[in-house]
Amino acid sequence: MTKVPDSFDPSNYDADVTRQENVVEVVVPTTETSGPRVDKYLTRFYPEASRTKIQRAIKKGHLKVNGEGVKKSYAVEPGDEIVFRLIRKPPMQAEPEAIPLDVRYEDEDLLVVHKPAGMVVHPAPGHRSGTLVHALLHHVEGQAVAADDDPAAAKDEEVGLSMINALPEAPDHPVVRPGIVHRLDKGTSGLLVVAKRDRAHQPLAEQFKDHTVERRYRAIVWGEFESPRGTIEGAIGRDPHRRQRMAVVPENEGKWAVTHHKTIEVHADTSVVEFELETGRTHQIRVHARSQGHPLLGDPKYGGQRVRYGSQDAARRDFFEALFDTLPHPALHAYQLGFVHPITGETMHFEAEPPAAWQHVRRRLETEEGRASGMER
């Protein structure tokens, strides 16, 4: 149910106005003689909505003045009886969905799962179904969670997953993420720990905050790092030129990030690298690797889905196009995860081999491109 915002108070308006949820009924007072456009006039009754949203609803026929449909440019007159309904998307919600789930460990407080590449972790605009959260709710036989649920009434025992930070912090941030302590990008496969109980969530989150969680990734990158072992440091923030991407930015414009890397295997123009996160920023490995001139193979957002090194002849381009079809996302896999169990105090360690498509691409690179060195490092 859509709630009327606290900022709406009928006594604040020089008009006979009522509002139920997202529907406003107003009689224009005799003092309103300036003839304002109706779309602009209605904005005063929807402090939480933009004029563009109001215009969109008018265009779809959700405005009546004196019982007749009018255009957004209609000039309001004294005595007009206006009925308007603002269009709203249904609240973000996660319901149990019978999606296969690879559970590597489970007890009454937490789970460790292996997320496949291509799966989004939690519901958000553009991803209202098919996420890891939907699969988790089905697995724990929990109940649906909606963005407009009352936080005080949402209990982890009923949902089956921790409700700490599970509901939106603000109306413009409509995500639903029960149980989620940390995330992996949609295109990244690998291990995640999920909190089933509130009592487990906060201690786990503290371990991530204190950088004591062991997180190692295997990736295939373009080229070879200058040193087989090293550390990349640099603040990460929005790319000032392409706002949909992240980038290494001046320290005062982003969040400090630290990524350790170790080269495992070198091919002619690509290499297999182990990355270890000391911090956990958005797209951290992908951004740091690109900043060094070694974007992840197959990464469409950061320049990894084209031939970056070596010959540009047609046969070689066709070879890599076939690899990109096999692995249509960054060649990145979270293969190691370690933490202290928040309730028992036991040290937990998990490993998961990269998926078959990742392994196939690595073998093809080794076979067709050859190794630049005779052995793994």
Q: Give ∠ CA 14-19-24 in degrees, rounded to 5.
A: 80
The confidence score (pLDDT) of residue 93 equals 87
Strand 332-340 with 189-195, pairing: parallel
Q: How many other C-beta atoms can be found within 10 angstroms of the C-beta atom of residue 373?
A: 13
The pLDDT tens digits along the chain (377 residues) read: 455 555 566 666 767 888 887 888 999 998 888 899 999 999 988 887 889 989 999 999 999 999 999 999 999 999 999 999 988 777 788 999 999 999 999 999 999 999 999 999 998 878 889 999 999 999 999 999 988 888 778 789 999 999 999 988 765 567 899 999 999 999 999 999 999 999 999 999 999 999 999 999 999 999 999 999 999 999 999 999 898 899 999 999 999 999 999 999 999 999 999 999 999 999 999 999 999 999 999 999 999 999 988 888 899 999 999 999 999 999 999 999 999 999 999 999 999 999 999 999 999 999 887 665 443 44
* Start-end of CATH 3.30.2350.10 domains in the chain: 91-210, 212-377
CA distances to 58, 119, 243 from 136, rounded to whole Å, are 40, 12, 32
DSSP structure string for 48-78:
TS-HHHHHHHHHTT-EEETTB---TTPBP-T
Question: Which residues fall within 8 angstroms of residue 210, CB to CB, at 6 or more apart?
Answer: none
Per the document, the length of the chain is 377
Architecture of domain 212-377: 2-Layer Sandwich (3.30)
Catalytic residue among 80, 109, 156, 185: 185
Closest to 61 in 3D by CA, of 84, 36, 92: 84
* Start-end of CATH 3.10.290.10 domains in the chain: 10-85
Q: Which residues of 277-311 are buried (b: 16+ CB within 10 A; e: fewer)?
A: beeebbbbbbbbbbbbebbbbbbebbebbeebeee
> What DSSP state is assigned to residue 255?
B
DSSP structure string for 78-138:
TT-EEEEE---PPPPEE-------EEEEE-SSEEEEEEPTT--SS-BTTB-SSSHHHHHHH
Q: How far apart are CA 61 and CA 70, in angstroms?
A: 8
| CATH class of this structure's domain 10-85 | alpha beta
| Residue 318 is among the residues annotated as catalytic for this protein | no
The pTM score is 0.78
Q: Which residues of 48-67 are buried (b: 16+ CB within 10 A; e: fewer)?
A: bbeeeebbbbbeeebbebee
119 contacts 138 by C-beta, under 8 angstroms: no
| CATH class of this structure's domain 91-210 | alpha beta
Closest to 176 in 3D by CA, of 140, 125, 142, 141: 125
Q: What are phi and psi of 208, to 5 degrees?
A: -65, -40
The confidence score (pLDDT) of residue 368 equals 84
Q: Checking phi first, is residue 34 left (phi over 0); if not, alpha (psi -120 to 50) or beta?
A: alpha
Residue 220, helix vs strand vs coil: strand
Helical pair 356-364 and 314-326, crossing angle rounded to 10 deg: 160
The confidence score (pLDDT) of residue 146 equals 87
The confidence score (pLDDT) of residue 370 equals 66
Query: What are residue 259's DSSP bridge partners?
Result: 232, 277
